[in-house]
Structure 1
């Protein structure tokens, strides 16, 4: 049988058939047909996932806040801790991705891992968590870029106040440009995202080298690796340190975009898992080097971080360390990385919505599931996500901790979308899962268990308040946003969608006897 190609014997050696299934046949087993061009290489797939894990986009906007929550200890050691556990989560997802290399990723996988009676609801919840995480990530990335652009304007003209309304206006323009970029052919997006990869790596190295060479009176190694600060208002230093993990976990998310691009990636069963793991590993190494170098450049914690009016505070550290000209260069590099990250997130999230819509799981599914005949891209899905990101951005105007709440929503929603397939793989599908070319062998169950524990722990942590005393203005409203969106979607499923949504597989019609004949396995003619 075709799926036996993915079986392993007791020694975990692969037992291959002479004619393993093609990726088109795997797609057909889900009820899909190949509609998009398979032109994306391994490097392009990895570049998109790495762009979503952008260290310059994720680490820079919140760096000052995390320094106040747990000092350099939270920034450096928190990054190491999160990187290790996130790589474990990546291993768990890569193994599943290798078996099911289909656009839609997480929610598609759940359709094969969940008990049959729970497939529709499990797919529905996973899909909406995945969509919320990816789309809110567009909001956070583009808002971070707007903040940095405002800081550059303030450096150039201290008299001019780029207030929160101006920042939101800049954010809207950035979102619109990202929508335009992702409405063109994917082959141009591949080039764009490879450029993003080189921009991130070369730009990060430039910042590290120049900052360490030019900054006088650098901090000591003892300060960088042991300094702790708790300005949260909470008496527990341990809790303050844990709050500081948000920056790192937020940065190392969105890597599932590699799986979302499976139907456009050559040899996706091998290259999409590589994209996931390469993205996390590369981000972990470069992020560590970047954070260590920035913290060495802190000359006066009180003046540069606690008392400064410059936002983000990292800009003040650069300004005092390397001067005005190099600070402008640094901020341009960071803003470019943020721009590339927002574009990669728009690309990944649009594919997720397209996949979800072609199964009738979204409002206006008929439009969101359409592929433009010229560009071969889901243009309606792109702009639906852009509009939603713009609406979520309004929260930035009304709440002082809104940016942290938006980041928390992104992190929690993405993490729970990861949790469901991993937990199902560990429990329900433990003995029935058919491995793909990439797998973890005998380590699979223990890594999956650790990944589940980590996701549950951080998801609970990131809905907790970040400041004390807790007021209406500084309350962490991430749980409200998450519960409203996911709760509304579940209610919609229960009262309406349950009658027609039965899981993935509505874009092609298989023979009526496909699931009864002995010559068909999961809809594939053997």
Structure 2
């Protein structure tokens, strides 16, 4: 060891006794030594760069397919005025969350003494619920778009729930197979997919206004685009605009994927937080351009939302473009959605592996195994895949029920990401130790804005679009039950049993001088246990 080992250069203090770092069976590189200082053994090959990490995040973000999948909420709840203004307002606060958030490991480190394991438990389960719903929701929307393309070619054909379900299952299986490949293959696949996503997004932004067959006028006047809120709910206009944020939040909820890949990323201290901010910043700007294109070209919102095609994006394209052009853009969207679903599957598998490594799940011994051939968590991939396929049974409960997957993903991800921010702002205060990437004096104000935004959106995203006598079981927003139910159960599980054996993030490196096990974070001085302004905690936040 040198006098100033890499983990100290990175402002990371070891969680092991006396700030020691264990000696491995091979020389540690800087990334591996930082990980060791935080109590974890290097499990994967570091074959992701800043670019490929950004590519996975951007693939999971999937701006074009995400927008296409959630057009019902953005346009249907608040019209063009809600779309363009709502995106601006929401993206500002979402960027705050992205810049200051953290996850499972951060929650455990920052929590007051004695509460680290509980904070990690709640953060971890919320994050996993958000992750495990991502791939099935994307693949459901992808299946709907594929079948909508069939309906465009053959107007007599109407997709059935059974067909949507089977196609969604088939896509999930394909994504499971791809996500089980070696890390380098996955990185290359996502690099190509993300490049295609970016290219397709620019093509759509250019082709739609250039190829629209609208006339008198060719584009909707600005005063109508910016000043018209078409309220599709039974709530006041302001609440309807807030409800439309689900489109923005779900679309932007993939930026945290860089966290889950940081153990496979070189120079993770810097590359991971940069990839997060880059993804949310670029995604927010390009997403707003896409909003403007749609807002200025859509002719009749009601026809888009209620079209028998069953997929608003396909209906919109057919409304404003010649059929062949509409099919071409829909095909681009389908290809992007496939890449997005695969990125979601990869990110979710790393989350499941990380939590299984700390024995969060029943059967964790199975799910935390790394395949000897691919050096990837294949068991975790298929664990998530099977659960995702079971979730797709909601298709048979109706459109509103399956749409709950989108709300759940939005809520679960942002709750998990915001818990460490809340702890840092209201409990840690000035004792927080900055890392190589930080927000400086803006850290606490940005964190406070993040917490306030998420607290406001939690009840909003659980509201149904109708009230009173119009509210029937098939129109009920089941998000509060489908997300709240599991979270209540795991909270009860904690107090009844899990608190006895779950001790938070574990040290799985056998120290050469002392044998240590259990939670090496709980009770540690916060200034010494945390590595950075939460996004740059240099261990793969392992969630």
**Same fold by TM-score, threshold 0.5 exceeded?**
yes
In the alignment, which residue of structure 2 is the partner of 1:122? 119
In the alignment, which residue of structure 1 is the partner of 2:23? none
1:260 aligns with 2:260: yes
Counterpart Cα distance in 2 of 1:24 and 1:283:
31
Q: In the TM superposition, what are the counterparts of 1:468-479 in structure 2 within 5 Å? A: 468=467, 469-479=470-480
The 8 Å contact of residues 69 and 241 in structure 1, kept in 2 or not, is answered as yes
SS at structure 2 position matched to 1:427: helix
Taking a change above 3 Å as real, the CA distance of residues 301 and 31 of structure 1, as seen in their structure-2 partners, is closer
Q: In the TM superposition, what are the counterparts of 1:109-508 in structure 2 within 5 Å? A: 109-215=106-212, 216-217=214-215, 218=218, 219-234=220-235, 236-302=236-302, 304-305=303-304, 308-468=307-467, 469-508=470-509
In the alignment, which residue of structure 2 is the partner of 1:11? none
CA deviation after TM superposition for structure 1 residue 4, in Å: 6.5
The 8 Å contact of residues 60 and 340 in structure 2, kept in 1 or not, is answered as yes
Q: In the TM superposition, what are the counterparts of 1:11-22 in structure 2 within 5 Å? A: 22=30
The 8 Å contact of residues 358 and 506 in structure 1, kept in 2 or not, is answered as no
The 8 Å contact of residues 31 and 523 in structure 1, kept in 2 or not, is answered as no
CA deviation after TM superposition for structure 1 residue 386, in Å: 0.9
Q: Which runs of 4+ in 1 moved over 6 A?
A: 1-4, 521-524
2:78 to 64, 67, 70: 70
1:87 aligns with 2:87: no
CA deviation after TM superposition for structure 1 residue 128, in Å: 0.5
Counterpart Cα distance in 2 of 1:320 and 1:409:
30
Residue deviations 1:51-72 (CA, integer Å, cap 9, x gap): 2211112211221343231110
CA deviation after TM superposition for structure 1 residue 21, in Å: 9.6
Taking a change above 3 Å as real, the CA distance of residues 269 and 203 of structure 1, as seen in their structure-2 partners, is same
SS at structure 2 position matched to 1:60: helix
Counterpart Cα distance in 1 of 2:387 and 2:363:
14
CA deviation after TM superposition for structure 1 residue 227, in Å: 2.1
Counterpart Cα distance in 2 of 1:300 and 1:278:
35
Counterpart Cα distance in 2 of 1:267 and 1:168:
41
Counterpart Cα distance in 2 of 1:491 and 1:212:
53
Taking a change above 3 Å as real, the CA distance of residues 307 and 125 of structure 1, as seen in their structure-2 partners, is closer
CA deviation after TM superposition for structure 1 residue 355, in Å: 0.8
CA deviation after TM superposition for structure 1 residue 405, in Å: 1.5
In the alignment, which residue of structure 1 is the partner of 2:514? 512
Taking a change above 3 Å as real, the CA distance of residues 174 and 494 of structure 1, as seen in their structure-2 partners, is same
In the alignment, which residue of structure 2 is the partner of 1:44? 52
CA deviation after TM superposition for structure 1 residue 494, in Å: 2.9
Counterpart Cα distance in 2 of 1:279 and 1:307:
33
The unaligned stretches of length 5 or more in structure 1 are 9-19, 97-105, 516-520
Residue deviations 1:195-233 (CA, integer Å, cap 9, x gap): 122111111111121211121323222222222111323
SS at structure 2 position matched to 1:116: coil
The 8 Å contact of residues 28 and 523 in structure 1, kept in 2 or not, is answered as no
Q: What count of residue pairs does the alignment treat as equivalent?
A: 496
RMSD of Structure 2 on Structure 1 (CA): 2.3
The unaligned stretches of length 5 or more in structure 2 are 13-27, 521-527, 532-543
Counterpart Cα distance in 2 of 1:117 and 1:307:
53
